[in-house]
Structure 1
Amino acid sequence: MAPGCLCGFRPGVGGAHARGGALTRHPSHSMFPHGGWVCGLSRRLLTPGGRALPAGAAQGVRRPLSSAPHAPQICIVGSGPAGFYTAQHLLKHHPQARVDIYEKLPVPFGLVRFGVAPDHPEVKSYGAEEKRELGIPGEELPGVYSARDFVGWYNGLPDNRHLCPDLSSDTAVILGQGNVAVDIARILLSPLELLRRTDVTRTALDSLTHSRVRRVWLVGRRGPLQVAFTIKELREMLHLPGTRPRLDPSDFQGLEDITKDLPRPRKRLTELLVKSALREPGEKDAAHWAQAERQWGLRFLRSPQAVLSSEDGGRAAGVRLSVTRLEGAGEAAVAFPTGRVEDIPCGLIFSSIGYRSLPISPALPFLARQGVIANSMGRVQESPGLYCSGWVKRGPTGVITTTMADSFDTAQAVLEDINSGVLSCSDPRAGAAAVRDLLLLRGVRPVSFSDWEKIDAAETARGVAVGKPREKILDPEEMLRLVRP
């Protein structure tokens, strides 16, 4: 899953706060509430991986830019990959630009810090603020969790630090077949010695140590040709130590004949699924699977209908699935109920059916059904000087490379508007100074980049002490005490 950022331009100051988007705009009273904190990053920019941008990143203009007496000052709200990639492109192609990035948390980097899985530091990815509801009876029962909350919990997102998921069931069902669903399955089934070497939170590691989960089903309403996870994620699951796959051969009959006509990424993924389900495993895999104490499997053509409760009604005890059929082919295939149902007993259920961005301000044109800001190539409709990038621009689709290309496109739209004169740099603007004055007026003390470096150093030191790359601080107030003795 990929992030979003809201970025806006009116040479100078920035506007509204968002997760799942980046924005550049004129001053807005909605940006900072009374009290609280703001993490501000400027001058020294880093890539989403946490490294400083190379010295040449601010050189080499792709197309000539109109000269202006005042350099453009750009505010980006949201310090996830969409925000940083947008900033990177702007600085690379307009050396005179000044970019300030604002974040609502005391720590930067968004999904890079709070993303999909601690054992995938190179691809951590999610970014919209709100999870999608299942809309079925029983989803409020204890034992039912959203993928977003669970991912935030084991990655140390402050909002999710009190989740305390109950992992006492031997069977877990994940409703969804995307990369986030596979990440959750892998975290639930991974040997502890592997997780101990990651930056998974201490709280999560303690809970996983006592977990009784031994079987995980990933459920999708469509078929093998529509799974949303990538081949890399599948390979890791197939070779996860101490774990074996359970794939029903009948789900894959006939797919060998049509793989040659599929796009290359889908072709390779389908070939691996078919090989794993229909062919005898090699000697190494056979020996590995024979000794496995845990298992995972894919269930296709199943749509959640209801969460079943325990006899006392106190918690989830299973999930009822509607058996579906497909009409159409490929990505356009649509699932329809057949009238048949199937129950899976389980005490742990995750909803991994996607995320939604939230409206940022009543003044912005927000399309609630799609969960995006109305825009054209990143230009927010009816809001000159305001741009968006990431999931708040295109919806919750794609991976980190999708976000990178998307952010570059938005940044290029800003540059084109500067070059064409749509955005004027002829008048001086207060820029970041106006934001500092606004923060002072509202009693908000910002967390600077140097402050973040103190938090970073403390987390790194705590991690080294226990043999991990980092031990994240979960409580924002504890973070602030480190920078405000």
Structure 2
Amino acid sequence: MLRVAVVGSGPSGVYTAQSLVQQTLVPDVRVHVLDRLPCPYGLVRYGVAPDHEKIKSLQNNLRTVLEDDRVCFVGNVEVGPGGVSPARLLELYHAIVYCVGAATDRHLGIPGEDLPGSRSATDFVSWYSAHPDAAGNGFTLGARSAVVIGVGNVAVDVTRILARGPGELRPTDVPQAPLDALGGSLVREVHMVGRRGPSQAKFTTKELRELGSLPAAQALVDPAELALDPAYTDPAALPAVNRRNVEVLRGWAGAAADDRDRRIRLRFFLRPAEILELDGRTAGVRFERTLPDGEGGVRGTGTYENIQAELVLRAVGYRGVPLTGLPFDATRGTVPHAAGRVLRNGEPSPGEYVAGWIKRGPTGVIGTNRPCAKETATSLLEDAPALLRRTPEADPVAALRSAGLRPVEWPGWLAIERAEAALGRSLGRGSVKIPDWQGLLSTALGSEAER
């Protein structure tokens, strides 16, 4: 039997497990899907916006894999300092596949970025998504104006959540405290700002269109600003997604303000230069006007514009972080690899593999993880004859417990699901997430202790 540990239970990890157990090259494969959280599904649970129910329903597909008899979910297991080391995992399994994603956000690197009121979009998403690391680190939303820096799907998500009216998120699984804060938000203007033009924006058209269909907010865009983009007048030569994006923005250009009391202002060709300060807090952002440089980038013009805002969220991308015990390419923010095989000093490291963002960088959508995972699984299975020459310890989960860890297996996760459904019923809502480590672990481990 080939025993594999997959570190990370998001889409890349679960797709890797699926590829391993559904193949026929190696007849007997068992996969333990490890995660530092007691809950599975990774960014599908803690990154997909709560009002994107169709995308969140992907959890049902991931669940089918994790309920396979050949797959075992093992949560609340930290890999690295304070947990289990990569070297120790290789004593417990024939092979390890690291699917740990890109764990931190990129910074702007401008003055004032660390002022109170200037935060990462990742913080905001973690707060309303009930990530336990965000417990006690919330948002009060007393600002009248907010700036979201970035024009990708994360920027669109946080802009949309900020612009929703009271009660719109009640049918979702947002915890009660963020729901109350969002319902009482004073934010009436959200500026979503990109340093390049509309033809280069990274959001997808479906997400962009959602901004134009919100019941409580109107999306506005300045046609003169759009016209700075050479492709704006005739977008026919653009890739399909970019062309559709430009066409949507053309339809909004110059629209008169309606009677909705919230505004989304999409801005382009503005590069953040400084977070402005008043009385020790964020008061706005100073932007430099940019123009296309003719080579796909932009150049500064030396002309500046200030946008007033008491809340600034940066959404300019993610970056992988080093995992103690594994090699790391600091320039790319990834683990060096060849077709998923981890490289140490340029040579494949026996039994160590990567998939997902830590392998290829933070690119693509959820579905991009399927071929990425399949490539890594194929490499691992090709290496199986050599991997099977080692004999790992008999019971990895027991070994983790002996080391002082408290693994949460599938029954513990099911207890969390039941508790969240009960919490929602008590609030007159659907299922509502438990937002803190103590609540999650006491529910999961208490249930397992009763077995």
Same fold (TM over 0.5): yes
Larger displacement relative to structure 2 (266-275 or 222-231): 266-275
Report if aligned partners of 1:112, 1:121 keep a CA contact under 8 Å in 2: no
Deviations 1:98-138 (A, max 9, x none): 11111111211111111131111333699521122221111
Instruction: Say whether residues 1:339 and 2:302 are aligned partners.
Output: yes
Supply the distance in 1 between the matched residues of 2:434 and 2:410 (Cα, whole angstroms): 17
Instruction: Say whether residues 1:247 and 2:215 are aligned partners.
Output: no
Report if aligned partners of 1:116, 1:180 keep a CA contact under 8 Å in 2: no
Instruction: Say whether residues 1:99 and 2:67 are aligned partners.
Output: no
Aligned to 2:3: 73
Supply the distance in 1 between the matched residues of 2:378 and 2:298 (Cα, whole angstroms): 39
The equivalent position to 1:277 in structure 2, one of 237, 253, 260, is 253
Map 1:167-182; keep pairs closer than 5 Å: 167-182=141-156
Deviations 1:243-265 (A, max 9, x none): 11111111333645532222222
Q: Judging changes above 3 Å, is the alpha-carbon distance between structure 1 residues 370 and 122 closer, same or farther for their aligned structure 2 residues?
A: farther
Aligned to 2:283: 317
Report if aligned partners of 1:166, 1:348 keep a CA contact under 8 Å in 2: no
Deviations 1:399-454 (A, max 9, x none): 11112222222222222333xx4x332454336x14522x2332222111111111
Instruction: Say whether residues 1:143 and 2:73 are aligned partners.
Output: no
Residue 52 of structure 2 aligns with an amino acid whose one-letter code is H
Residue 76 of structure 1 aligns with an amino acid whose one-letter code is V
Unaligned runs of 5+ in 2: 59-99, 447-451
Q: Judging changes above 3 Å, is the alpha-carbon distance between structure 1 residues 402 and 223 closer, same or farther for their aligned structure 2 residues?
A: same
Instruction: Say whether residues 1:451 and 2:412 are aligned partners.
Output: yes
Which aligned runs of 4 or more in structure 1 are off by greater than 6 angstroms?
none
> What is the percentage of aligned positions where both structures have the same residue?
42
Unaligned runs of 5+ in 1: 1-70, 281-285
Map 1:256-275; keep pairs closer than 5 Å: 257-275=233-251
Supply the distance in 2 between the matched residues of 1:193 and 1:434 (Cα, whole angstroms): 46
Aligned to 1:409: 375
SS at structure 1 position matched to 2:355: strand
Deviations 1:24-59 (A, max 9, x none): xxxxxxxxxxxxxxxxxxxxxxxxxxxxxxxxxxxx
Residue 181 of structure 1 aligns with an amino acid whose one-letter code is A
Supply the distance in 2 between the matched residues of 1:90 and 1:396 (Cα, whole angstroms): 23
Report if aligned partners of 2:172, 2:432 keep a CA contact under 8 Å in 1: no
TM-score, normalisation: structure 2? 0.83
Map 1:12-51; keep pairs closer than 5 Å: none
Instruction: Say whether residues 1:381 and 2:343 are aligned partners.
Output: yes
Aligned to 1:132: 106
Supply the distance in 2 between the matched residues of 1:342 and 1:399 (Cα, whole angstroms): 34
Instruction: Say whether residues 1:468 and 2:419 are aligned partners.
Output: no
Report if aligned partners of 2:199, 2:243 keep a CA contact under 8 Å in 1: no
Report if aligned partners of 2:197, 2:226 keep a CA contact under 8 Å in 1: no
Supply the distance in 2 between the matched residues of 1:397 and 1:427 (Cα, whole angstroms): 35
Residue 104 of structure 1 aligns with an amino acid whose one-letter code is R
Instruction: Say whether residues 1:366 and 2:298 are aligned partners.
Output: no
Aligned to 2:275: 307
TM-score, normalisation: structure 1? 0.78
Aligned to 1:35: none
SS at structure 1 position matched to 2:387: coil
Aligned to 1:481: 442
Supply the distance in 2 between the matched residues of 1:119 and 1:138 (Cα, whole angstroms): 32
Report if aligned partners of 1:320, 1:343 keep a CA contact under 8 Å in 2: yes
Aligned to 1:441: 402
Give the root-mean-square deviation of aligned CA atoms. Answer: 2.0
Residue 265 of structure 2 aligns with an amino acid whose one-letter code is G
Deviations 1:293-322 (A, max 9, x none): 111011111111111111x2x211111112
Aligned to 1:189: 163
Map 1:161-240; keep pairs closer than 5 Å: 161-240=135-214
Report if aligned partners of 1:304, 1:319 keep a CA contact under 8 Å in 2: yes
Supply the distance in 2 between the matched residues of 1:297 and 1:482 (Cα, whole angstroms): 43
Report if aligned partners of 1:197, 1:467 keep a CA contact under 8 Å in 2: no
Aligned to 2:266: 298
Aligned to 2:320: 357
Report if aligned partners of 1:128, 1:392 keep a CA contact under 8 Å in 2: yes
Residue 265 of structure 1 aligns with an amino acid whose one-letter code is V
Report if aligned partners of 2:289, 2:303 keep a CA contact under 8 Å in 1: yes
Larger displacement relative to structure 2 (168-177 or 473-482): 473-482
Matched pairs, number: 396
Map 1:110-121; keep pairs closer than 5 Å: 110-121=42-53
Report if aligned partners of 2:102, 2:319 keep a CA contact under 8 Å in 1: yes
Aligned to 1:62: none
Report if aligned partners of 2:198, 2:245 keep a CA contact under 8 Å in 1: no
Supply the distance in 1 between the matched residues of 2:272 and 2:402 (Cα, whole angstroms): 50
SS at structure 1 position matched to 2:54: coil
